[in-house]
């Protein structure tokens, strides 16, 4: 990998960032600033730690400061959906927003790139989205991934510690199944794909040691985790112990980021081995 040229940041720089709480784990700044340096674009992308109670105020402040927009990570994706003036089909289908695009007329366009980014990361590893999928979680990321997998023809079910949230998600996405949290480990044999869409197992998250049993999994099960810090989550470590195919969260991050970068900075970036190596080096 060749050394990157020095990043250009002048008084005319285009600005974007990532809103989250916490946000210290995010590699989005590393990713976007790599692209800015690589393509010699005058711009900067910064981490924006914002408590949930201050989310709306923070977004309005970014608009006033001249930002082009922002990515949105946990726990703000549903709040971002609410603040957007215009929602793309992807956002309406997902019921959440992970990319805010600030328009010249002051309106905010909300987009969800999580689901398509996840599918793209599967395909980049030669994994076809087919068969039956079980998703852990029922929040914004779960809905986005579930909708994308359904759109690719998969039969999808979700499980969540709070059953009411899973039932509510099933009402929003026709055809979505619900599995009780107390039973999902025993039912793994019926699935070809398991996806953790929660912050369980995330460094700095509510349960960084989350490591469920996979002893009932079929040999063909693919285990995916959208968490990418740490790179090898306890769930993925458990899957490797059972010699199951795994998919980490970094690929989803890289692929979902392209649309926002293109809109904010005016260039369609590549996802390639050099980018992956650069971001991995930051772990």
Pick out the residues of the known binding site for shikimate. Answer: 26-28, 73, 98, 114, 228, 256
Quick one: CA dihedral 186, 150, 248, 283, positive or negative? negative
- Tell me how far apart the alpha carbons of residues 184 and 216 are, in angstroms, rounded to a whole number: 10
Three-class SS of residue 129?
coil
Q: CA 89 → CA 2, 81, 93, 249, distances in Å?
A: 39, 12, 6, 24
Residues annotated within a binding site for NADP(+): 137-141, 160-165, 226, 249
Residues annotated within a binding site: 26-28, 73, 98, 114, 137-141, 160-165, 226, 228, 249, 256
- Tell me how far apart the alpha carbons of residues 120 and 123 are, in angstroms, rounded to a whole number: 5
- Tell me how far apart the alpha carbons of residues 234 and 202 are, in angstroms, rounded to a whole number: 9
- Tell me how far apart the alpha carbons of residues 92 and 65 are, in angstroms, rounded to a whole number: 28
Catalytic, 77? Answer yes
Catalytic residue among 77, 130, 168, 245: 77
> DSSP letter at 187?
G
Residues labelled as active-site residues: 77
């Amino acid at each position: 990998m060749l050394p990157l040229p020095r990043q250009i940041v002048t008084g005319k720089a285009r600005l974007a960032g990532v809103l989250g709480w916490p946000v210290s784990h995010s590699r989005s700044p590393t990713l976007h600033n790599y692209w800015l340096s690589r393509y010699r674009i005058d711009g900067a992308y910064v981490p924006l730690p914002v408590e949930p109670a201050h989310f709306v105020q923070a977004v309005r402040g970014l608009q006033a400061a001249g930002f082009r927009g922002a990515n949105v990570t946990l726990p703000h994706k549903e709040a971002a959906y609410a603040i957007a003036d215009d929602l793309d089909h992807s956002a309406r289908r997902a019921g959440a927003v992970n990319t805010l695009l600030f328009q010249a007329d002051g309106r905010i366009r909300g987009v969800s790139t999580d689901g398509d980014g996840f599918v793209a990361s599967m395909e980049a590893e030669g994994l076809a989205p087919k068969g039956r999928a079980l998703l852990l979680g029922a929040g914004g990321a779960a809905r986005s991934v579930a909708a994308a997998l359904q759109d690719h023809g998969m039969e999808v079910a979700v499980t969540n510690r709070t059953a009411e949230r899973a039932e509510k998600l099933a009402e929003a996405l026709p055809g979505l199944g619900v599995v009780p949290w107390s039973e999902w480990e025993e039912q793994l044999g019926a699935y070809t794909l398991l996806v953790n869409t929660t912050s369980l197992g995330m460094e700095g998250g509510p349960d960084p040691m989350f490591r469920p049993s996979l002893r009932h999994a079929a040999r063909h099960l693919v285990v995916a985790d959208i968490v990418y810090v740490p790179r090898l989550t306890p769930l993925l470590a458990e899957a490797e112990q059972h010699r199951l195919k795994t998919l980490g969260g970094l690929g989803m991050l890289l692929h979902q980021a392209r649309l926002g970068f293109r809109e904010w900075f005016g260039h369609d970036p590549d996802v390639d081995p050099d980018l992956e190596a650069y971001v991995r080096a930051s772990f």
